[in-house]
Structure 1
Amino acid sequence: MRHQDFAPPTPRPGPRRRPVLAAAALAAVCLTATGCVADGGPVPGAEEGAASRPASSPPPSSPSPREPSAAATGPSSESRSAEPLPRGPLTGRTVVIDPGHNPGNRDHTREINSQVDIGTGRKECDTTGTATDAGYAEARFTLDVSRKLRTLLEERGARVVLTQDGDRPFGPCVDERARMGNKEKADAVVSVHADGSATGNRGFHVILPAAVKGGDADTAKIVAPSRELGVRIAGNFVRVTGSAPSNYIGGGTGLDTRDDLGGLNLSTVPKVFVECGNMRDPKDAALLTSADWRQKAALGIAEGISSYLKR
């Protein structure tokens, strides 16, 4: 969702947007960072960010019968990472996956509303995230996609750490999420989300860190590699899922840049956010609630990460 650490920038007027690229064209163009820029990618330094905020509060995020409960989790990140991994093209690489929000946040509003330092100011620790009109919560979506993504990357030999695996009552806060990736010296960090915008707003976008310096935030060293990571994820997401880039964020490029997200501002390693679609649009919601499509989303992100790490 366009989080509180995800408050959206004011949408840019329609005339300023570039024409929407065909999905196939974006897939071909965005396999390399330089190609995407040369063929109509966004100008570096444009708005960065998570998706747009719904006009009203999302409906209660009641559990979906198709989804495991937050408490019914598999092995923790620590125990999984201790298990022998198959050797593969990503052997020796560490990837941190950040499932946006937490299903338990809705029961801990006091804690997640506490303010944390994001380097350039203070924001809420976290938010509840958005949900579909039928009540399928973003936090449940992100956890499912993140688990699928972990499996795909581990099969390729990567060591994968999740910032949360439904194994804590709420959070972690956005600053802690950033510190986890830093502590692991991750080769790549991907924060998984879904948007909560208006009906008719469709498609995915990848959020890139802007150049930020202030307090504990200094993104100078990660702007370029994060952009390359994001470009590769965007191109592969189109190719694998068939989803088009957002028609309301990023001018049809599938890329957006923001400077107000603590999870990016405080990162010292390459990091992006992926907004997989808009939960408040019925057509996008039908995709996001499909287990088959979530597997495709995880594969598209995995392909993008792999392409970036093998460059």
Structure 2
Amino acid sequence: MSGDGGPAPEARPQPASAVSPQQPQQPQKPPGDAKSGTGQATASASPSQEAAAPASPGSPQAAAPQGLLAGKVVVIDPGHNVGNFQHGAEIDKQVDIGTNRKECDTTGTTTNSGYKEADFTLDVSRRLRTALEARGVKVVLTHQADRPFGPCIDERARIGNEAKADAVVSVHADGTAAGNRGFHVILPAKVKGGAADTSAIVGPSRELGERIAGNFTRTTGSAPANYLGGGTGLVVRDDLGGLNLSTRPKVFIECGNMRDANDAALLMDPQWRQKAAQGIANGIIGFLGG
């Protein structure tokens, strides 16, 4: 979940032509943020055969997109960290997100059977990296569970800023009530306060989010969320430090609801996770002009 350390506010639905949604349920305020659950994980699943393969050197059709994307930088932010639940005092410390202060990080949610969001986000992020690198993109991960906890949300934003990323995507899964299904992409609201000023990234972040949403539903077959976003698959939020502090085009994607049995079955399936990674990659590639 992308609570950034707190419960999600009522989403403000935004229109998006990039998605062909299912008939949505009436939007509603999500229940409390389940990111306060525990989370420790290992990314043990290996990429499926659907993983994007590097282009053949002799293929002129594949060489052109690689050239177009050469020099492009994408930062991938696997939500939470497998060790966060062991470092409650550290991740509870407040950090400045410009408009207010929030927890350094949260632990993330789990499925009812115990599959951790931190497992999911790191696995999908690694698959996403492979797909993008196959197209010539330079990829930076904010972490690989190679640190005891975190990074804090302000550091996650700073990593993207300092990399001068052409796009930043934070990978998550939601933790709301059973029956709430589907994915949604979170876009930055226009905020200004302290170190936060999203005025320059609101437009390009929306384009990035629309492209990811459209490609995600086409590649995975998953519908936009039926519980927020008005069926568009897009939600604008002004309370996420990872978005507020970003100076680069950035979105969060909640790939499904870990607390719904049907969504959870998809999220735990390595083949579906490969499709999810490819859908996100396709959206990023389109945004980058590849």
The alignment's TM-score, normalised by the length of structure 2, stands at 0.85
> Which of 220, 228, 242 does residue 241 from structure 1 map onto?
220
1:191 aligns with 2:179: no
Instruction: Report the identity percentage.
Output: 65
Q: Where does residue 85 of structure 2 map in the other structure?
A: 106
* 1:5 CA displacement: 3.5
Q: Where does residue 3 of structure 1 map in the other structure?
A: 3
Q: Where does residue 156 of structure 1 map in the other structure?
A: 135
SS at match of 2:169: strand
Q: Where does residue 275 of structure 1 map in the other structure?
A: 254
Contact 1:97 1:191 in 2 (8 A): yes
The 5 Å alignment of 1:218-237 reads 218-237=197-216
SS at match of 1:103: coil
1:30 aligns with 2:9: no
Question: Could you say what the CA RMSD is over the residues aligned between the two structures, in angstroms?
Answer: 2.6
Q: Deviations over 1:148-196 (max 9, x none)?
A: 0000000000000000011111100000000000000000000000000
Change (3 A) 1:65 1:302: closer
SS at match of 1:191: strand
Q: Where does residue 232 of structure 2 map in the other structure?
A: 253
Structure 2 unaligned regions, length at least 5: 21-27, 47-64
The 5 Å alignment of 1:1-311 reads 1-10=1-10, 29-30=17-18, 53-54=32-33, 58=37, 61=39, 63=41, 66-67=44-45, 87-310=66-289
Q: What residue identity is the alignment partner of 2:181?
A: R
Following the alignment from structure 2 to structure 1, what is the Cα–Cα distance between the partners of residues 109 and 288? 31
Contact 2:172 2:254 in 1 (8 A): yes
Structure 1 unaligned regions, length at least 5: 37-46, 69-85
Q: Where does residue 53 of structure 2 map in the other structure?
A: none
Following the alignment from structure 2 to structure 1, what is the Cα–Cα distance between the partners of residues 45 and 235? 30
Following the alignment from structure 2 to structure 1, what is the Cα–Cα distance between the partners of residues 35 and 148? 25
Following the alignment from structure 1 to structure 2, what is the Cα–Cα distance between the partners of residues 56 and 231? 25
* 1:62 CA displacement: 6.1
Change (3 A) 1:88 1:151: farther
Following the alignment from structure 1 to structure 2, what is the Cα–Cα distance between the partners of residues 162 and 197? 27
The alignment's TM-score, normalised by the length of structure 1, stands at 0.79
Q: Where does residue 74 of structure 1 map in the other structure?
A: none
Q: What residue identity is the alignment partner of 2:227?
A: Y
Q: Deviations over 1:201-239 (max 9, x none)?
A: 000000000000001000000000000000000000010
SS at match of 2:83: helix
* 1:263 CA displacement: 0.2
Following the alignment from structure 2 to structure 1, what is the Cα–Cα distance between the partners of residues 239 and 272? 30
